[in-house]
Structure 1
Amino acid sequence: MNKPAMDFKPVTDGVTALLPGIDDSRMSDRTPCEEFTLGAVINHMLGLTWVFADAANKVRGPHTDSPPTAPPSAPEAEWRTVLPIRLDALAQAWAAPEAWEGEATAGGVTMPAEIMGLVALNEVTVHGWDLARATGQEYELDPEIVKTLTEFVAQDADDQAAREGIFGPAVRVPEDAPPLDRLIGLTGRDPEWSRS
């Protein structure tokens, strides 16, 4: 693919900025990620940031070599402290040019590191959107990141077999929809989703 390294920092900083607006009493609330409650999305983020940072660093272990499991619905007690640290570590790990070279393993899958990096960036970006929507917060993204991820996710938009276990069926959006809505629709989410 010869994709240049992408800067995760705008996304990880954006997700970190959402955390103070999350009410601990709302962890059982639904989210745009239909199978996950708010608490489950937070737990999923705690796990994926750790795993994908190790993937970038070419560190192997049970957590990188095993398939992902459904996260618990109640987040870890220290999530407000741990998640920002892991988000920052993720951004730092993928900032290294060598992170994008060779192969990387996460979730029991090994693939070219340049693809794994985009998978990781997409996971954080889209679940950040889930958190924002579920908590009624604004979520701004760098247009270049949205463009790159949209092109990446669109590759399998019509191949549900390839998307199985990753995304639901793509949600159609109007031709004149904002770029972020197109990306969100491609991940099987409704860009018009509201917690109300």
Structure 2
Amino acid sequence: MSIDLTASTQHVAALLSGVRDEHLTAPTPCGEYTVAALLDHIMGFSSAFTWIARKQDEGLSDDPPHARAEDLDPRWRELLPGRLTELGEAWRDPAADEGQARAAGVELPRSVWRLVALNELLVHGWDLATATGQPYRTDPAAVAVTVEFMGQDADDPASRENNPAFGPIVTVPDDAPAIDRAVGLSGRDPGWKP
């Protein structure tokens, strides 16, 4: 189930120029995050997943990430495109999938961390696009992999309850676009409006 993250990093990066200063305090479909907090989260996970791919992750915290609007680097417009590019490039190395890595108190094969990174990119890209009123271009292969990955525990309520990254599944019509299925599996309403 290995997949190149480059297209997904590029699609998220393409949204950044459409984020205006007045968007930063706006709500997003991602729980309590404002757009600024969401950008802080994307900044953080872009670096963390790059370190995992490059096997430079020994210092990653066992604490879950805590994104906050007030922690958003004021240079995010300058820094985040480069971090996203590095993230895509890091996972193009075939050795990136080798071995185990520990982050946020969870140890997983690096090949699974690749899928987690893809999920974060795809879903939080949708969050950012939706919150800022932008169209969201996605890589169909990435969406299909994400739907398969998130759908693995869809029939196991206990597993979902123990995973704070996802809310309760939002059912979407069978003929809904694949991105709506991915968003619904993440616990978001594809029809969310600011």
Structure 1 length-normalised TM: 0.93
CA RMSD after TM alignment? 1.3
CA distance in 2, matches of 1:135, 1:103: 36
* Cα offsets for 1:64-86 (capped at 9, x unmatched): 23222321113210000111111
Query: Per-residue deviation at 1:61?
Result: 3.8
Matched residue, 2:178: 179
Matched residue, 2:146: 149
Query: Per-residue deviation at 1:46?
Result: 0.5
CA distance in 2, matches of 1:159, 1:59: 34
Query: Per-residue deviation at 1:114?
Result: 1.1
* Cα offsets for 1:122-168 (capped at 9, x unmatched): 10111011000000001111111111110000011233432321100
Aligned mate of 1:105, from 98, 102, 119: 102
CA distance in 2, matches of 1:61, 1:24: 35
* Cα offsets for 1:18-62 (capped at 9, x unmatched): 011101122111001022111100000000000011011111343
Aligned mate of 1:10, from 7, 10, 19: 7
Query: Can you give the 5+ residue segments of structure 1 that lack an aligned partner in the other structure?
Result: none
CA distance in 2, matches of 1:124, 1:41: 11
The alignment of Structure 1 onto Structure 2 pairs a total of residues equal to: 191
What's the % identity of the aligned pairs?
45
Structure 2 length-normalised TM: 0.93
Aligned mate of 1:73, from 66, 69, 75: 69
Query: Can you give the 5+ residue segments of structure 2 that lack an aligned partner in the other structure?
Result: none
Query: Aligned to 1:176, what secondary structure does the other structure show?
Result: coil
* Cα offsets for 1:60-117 (capped at 9, x unmatched): 343x232223211132100001111110111011110000112123223221111111
